[in-house]
Amino acid sequence: MTVNLSFMTVLFQATSVSAEDCVLAHPIVPVEECKPGFFLLPGTHSCYQLVTEKLSWEASRTRCASLTSTSHLAEIDNAEEDTAVAGYLNSLDFINTDANNCLSVLKSMFFIAGQRIDPTVCASTTDFVWKPRDGETKEMTYINWRTGEPNCGGTGGEHCLVYYTRDYTTLPHLWNDISCTIAYCSLCEDSSFIDPYRWP
């Protein structure tokens, strides 16, 4: 059989696409890794940073917002994210039971962005929303409260949300309402992380 090489060459030249042409036609979003101090948790699409300075809820929100232009007090949007974050918190190297230590066993609470719609009134156990940044409010479509919570049981009201466990070695981190003025650690989130394989 005789093969017409000149025809094949023309056909190849007409149908071949260079890597540059492919990139121009379908640009891939550049890789954006977590910003310094933040880390990506498996199963999530955000970067996180634990602030170990004990602050009130409002001060924690301000602190998170100061870390990067896109960071905020963490909000938990689904069970996968909740499992990943709780697993991370349970993996921390807690130090004995010193009540003054932010990462001690008996004080293993971490503020996240949940707060009552009206942070001065405990009128309902279902009126929590996400308030990740000042002036921003989002509906909660996922919840994982500890049994009996939220109960607004503290003196002066419990209007803010923490991850809570009394014994991190045997119990999971669940949600609890707490006074906004008590100082705890906080979990910050930066959602600007981009999947390097995502098409625009």
Structure tokens at 136: 């921003």
Whether residue 143 is contained in a domain is answered as: yes
**Is 14 a domain residue?**
no
Is 10 within the bounds of a domain?
Answer: no
Overall domain count for the chain: 1
Supply the CATH number for residue 146's domain.
Answer: 3.10.100.10
Per-residue pLDDT tens, the chain, 200 aa: give them: 444 444 334 333 444 444 444 333 444 444 458 899 999 988 888 999 999 888 999 999 999 999 999 999 999 999 999 999 888 887 776 666 666 666 665 556 899 999 999 888 887 666 899 999 999 999 999 999 988 888 888 766 899 999 887 665 566 788 999 999 999 889 999 987 655 444 44
**Is residue 15 domain-resident?**
no
The predicted pLDDT at position 27 comes to 44
In a domain, 195, yes or no: no
Compute the distance between CA of residue 124 and CA of residue 112 in angstroms, rounded to an integer: 19
Is residue 140 included in any domain, yes or no?
yes
Whether 13 is in a domain gets the answer no
Tell me which residue range forms the domain holding 43.
39-190
